[in-house]
Structure 1
Amino acid sequence: MGDGLRHIDVAERRARLALRHRLAPGARVTTPEAVADALVALHGTDPATVYLAVGARLADPAETVTQTDRALYADRTLVRMHGMRHTVFVFPTASTAVVHASTGVVVAARERAALLKDMAKAGAPDAAWLKEVEESALAALARLGQATSGELAAEEPRLRERFVYAAGKPYEGLHSVGTRLLKVLGVEGKVVRGRPLGSWTSNQFRWALAPRHPELPVAGAQSDLLRHWLAACGPATEADLKWWTGWRVTEVRRALTAIGAQAVTLDEGTGYVLGDDVEPVPGPAEPWAALLPGLDPTAMGWQGRDWYLAPELRPALFDYSGNVGPTVWWDGRVVGAWAQRADGEIVWRILDPRGVGSEAEAAIASRAAALGSWLGPTRVTPRFRTPLEKELVS
């Protein structure tokens, strides 16, 4: 290139994705902790995504549920908490301090201020009262270990108090102190989601006290998070980084400078990798297939997705809010979608047949059979339904 920067083409980006996201056969790992560390974070908005994303990357997925339950609820080596873009993720527990300082502090201050403002407008008690309720609720949670919102309210009845939100507006409603306060405490890194009330696909969780972690300087934490993410997902554009982190562009640029990121050229413009990650990366030994869940960290990893997902496929694979559904991958790109029918059958459809021959179809069928095997009697419906997923199960 005339500017002297190394160019990383689409083929190499797909090779990096296959290896670093543990999707190629030789790159798969043996524990959920290794999966989460490789991806930085697992999307946790839909509880099933965590398990399905792990299972897609384990060398032996048969123990996906047992192993992931162990990591989340017995060993607590993984923790479900708010992170980037005010979204719930599952992180390695060792990352919680970095995530909180880099992305949670600013959001937490905004959430608490919004709660106090809404309560004041409704004539509800003041900040001192709320602080008293908070301390009582945290003390109750410490005694109980884990608890539902209702169980906490039995210990601290003031959590049940309600106030009118947005009075006189079309979206006026009643908010409970407990619901809003627990959300604020989650963003503040004081509480995390514990065991679900039902199976691993349940959307209802108990609450638990967050693991203790040091308070880190924001700039240093942002540098640490960006370094980890670029190691997993680089190269990426500035727009990708701003979107994934939810930071201001000035924060992204400051962190890029602090970690000594190296600029490279991509088909869509300038991208960045770590300073020691400029050399070419050879691809996996053989083509690979994967069935990834809705909101999978790989499918949702970049804002600019044309290098692995053709734009014409998006209407079928995304919901109206931009959430990706279950996807079928062949050798580094999305080629279709999959779903689970009521009888448990895993069905799939190819939307982009380019390069998808008999070898690809056999590999995809094999992955579908493996997925159906470890799911067993469990039925999974994505929290965010997409047009093709709904069509496949109809």
Structure 2
Amino acid sequence: MGDTRFIDAAERRARLGVRHRLAGSARAGSAAEAGGALVALHGTDPASVFLAVAARLRGGVEPVGAVERALYEDGALVRMHGMRHTVFVFPSSLAAAVQASTTRPAAVRERTALLKHLAAGSDFDGAWLAETERLVLAELAVRGEATGAELGEAVPRLRSTYVYGPGTRQEGVQSVASRVLRVLGMEGRIVRGRPQGTWTSSRFRWALAEARPALDPAEARAELMRHWLGSCGPATEADLTWWTGWKVTDVRRALAEVGALPVTLDEGTGHVLPDDLEPVPEPEPWAALLPALDPTAMGWQARDWYLDPAHRAALFDRSGNIGPTVWWNGRIVGGWAQRPDGALAHRLLADAGAEAERAIAAETERLTGWLGDVRVTPRFRTPLERELSTG
């Protein structure tokens, strides 16, 4: 590789500790700062967004209020579909780039699929769907915001059903409401707002979305690539293709557009931004309790540099979703769970030493303190989390 710089696993872990705001001296002062550092917070499980931010905030910043202000008052963060057809929370400054690079193509496929399913399993056609959407948008313009159930009461068409997969083993009756609202959300016409209930609830209210600039898809991919490499680089082409869900040709074009430079990793060739070749000093020792689906744990396809492959079976479910994890200096060293009485239990899967155990205990106490009476159960249960939660 000639003069190509080699970045070993230790330096990658140092970058992770600093750039993902996990080392104590690197922690964020606001939810927006934490979200911006990570580019995307997994939003499939609402509680994970709050837990991920809480792990990265400096002392004295109350996590729930900070996240709720950023999501529902300041508008610094926005919840929307993104990579791999998954709901994420993004900095609002990146919403247009995500929409153009990733969400819009998925929305086209989603609308096409919905029309196909309606044609096969009902008497509804494109005109019926367009009128239903018009009524939903008109209702939200009057109400300001509403839950799916409230919209169903106001727009009876949303309570309609259709037969999914007629004549197949997957045949079943499905509601029109969830599919229509998802399509409108993916197209950027409506947005998820404050939920009905607590911060752990997924019963979101819907509201009309603010118009986003219609960016050129290639420019949007380059913008998202620039932010992600700044947070998570170096990364291999396989990492980037997996994380974005883009075609490999689009990944390569985006890398070229941002002027990414090749580096050598244990896994092969990685990529960094052109101004990111300087060594990153290792931060002070740090521990963290990260939630299920945390963006640090789910940021790369190749994870051996921070996760012992022998621990995968305990920490992941069968679909590849990671559960709550315990970290020490950039490595996953165990898992944790909350028991019905509110106590947090953890288990180390490797001997991390006495200093690590003290730091992990301190993080456990910190998390226990702000959770208080709240009980959090991950949406995707993993073997170790299930065991610890009932132990």
| Counterpart position of 2:178 | 179
> Does structure 1 residue 75 correspond to structure 2 residue 71?
no
| Counterpart position of 1:142 | 141
1:49 and 1:211 mapped to 2: Cα distance?
25
| Counterpart position of 1:203 | 202
Unaligned runs of 5+ in 1: none
| Counterpart position of 1:160 | 159
Picking from 375, 379, 384, the partner of 2:371 is 375
Amino acid at match of 2:360: I
> Does structure 1 residue 93 correspond to structure 2 residue 92?
yes
2:70 and 2:362 mapped to 1: Cα distance?
27
Q: Which whole-Å deviations, capped at 9, do the CAs of 1:76-114 have from their partners, x for residues lacking one?
A: 221111011110001111211111001011111111000
2:331 and 2:60 mapped to 1: Cα distance?
22
Amino acid at match of 1:283: E
| C-alpha distance 352-151 of structure 1, shift in aligned 2 (>3 A) | same
Q: Secondary structure at the match of 1:215?
A: coil
After superposition, where does 1:174-323 map in structure 2 within 5 Å? 174-284=173-283, 286-323=284-321
1:53 and 1:339 mapped to 2: Cα distance?
14
Deviation at 1:391, TM superposition (A): 0.7
TM-score (norm 1): 0.97
2:178 and 2:40 mapped to 1: Cα distance?
25
> Does structure 1 residue 324 correspond to structure 2 residue 283?
no
After superposition, where does 1:21-60 map in structure 2 within 5 Å? 21-60=20-59
> Does structure 1 residue 392 correspond to structure 2 residue 380?
no
Deviation at 1:71, TM superposition (A): 1.2
After superposition, where does 1:352-371 map in structure 2 within 5 Å? 352-353=350-351, 356-371=352-367
- Aligned-pair identity in percent equals 62
2:40 and 2:288 mapped to 1: Cα distance?
19
Q: Secondary structure at the match of 1:287?
A: coil
Amino acid at match of 2:236: T
| Counterpart position of 1:127 | 126
How many residue pairs were aligned? 390
Deviation at 1:61, TM superposition (A): 6.0
Q: Which whole-Å deviations, capped at 9, do the CAs of 1:105-137 have from their partners, x for residues lacking one?
A: 111111100011111112422212211111111
Amino acid at match of 1:204: R
Structure 1 residue runs of 4+, over 3 Å off?
Answer: none
Report the aligned-residue RMSD: 1.0
Amino acid at match of 1:359: E
Q: Which whole-Å deviations, capped at 9, do the CAs of 1:43-65 have from their partners, x for residues lacking one?
A: 00000000000000000265101
| Counterpart position of 1:337 | 335
1:131 and 1:208 mapped to 2: Cα distance?
18
2:117 and 2:106 mapped to 1: Cα distance?
16
| 8 Å CA contact retained: 2:30, 2:61 | no
Q: Secondary structure at the match of 1:66?
A: helix
Deviation at 1:141, TM superposition (A): 1.1
| Counterpart position of 1:105 | 104
Deviation at 1:140, TM superposition (A): 0.8
Unaligned runs of 5+ in 2: none
1:192 and 1:70 mapped to 2: Cα distance?
16
2:60 and 2:342 mapped to 1: Cα distance?
17
| C-alpha distance 61-327 of structure 1, shift in aligned 2 (>3 A) | farther
Q: Secondary structure at the match of 1:338?
A: strand
Q: Secondary structure at the match of 1:231?
A: helix
| Greater mean deviation of Cα atoms: 217-226 or 65-74 | 65-74
1:210 and 1:93 mapped to 2: Cα distance?
12
1:61 and 1:207 mapped to 2: Cα distance?
32
Amino acid at match of 2:338: Q
Amino acid at match of 1:318: F
| C-alpha distance 30-340 of structure 1, shift in aligned 2 (>3 A) | same
| 8 Å CA contact retained: 1:62, 1:374 | no
Q: Which whole-Å deviations, capped at 9, do the CAs of 1:342-377 have from their partners, x for residues lacking one?
A: 111111110011xx1111100000000000000011
Amino acid at match of 1:165: Y
Deviation at 1:4, TM superposition (A): 2.1
After superposition, where does 1:9-28 map in structure 2 within 5 Å? 9-28=8-27
Q: Which whole-Å deviations, capped at 9, do the CAs of 1:186-217 have from their partners, x for residues lacking one?
A: 11111221111111111221112223211110
Amino acid at match of 1:350: L
| C-alpha distance 124-61 of structure 1, shift in aligned 2 (>3 A) | farther
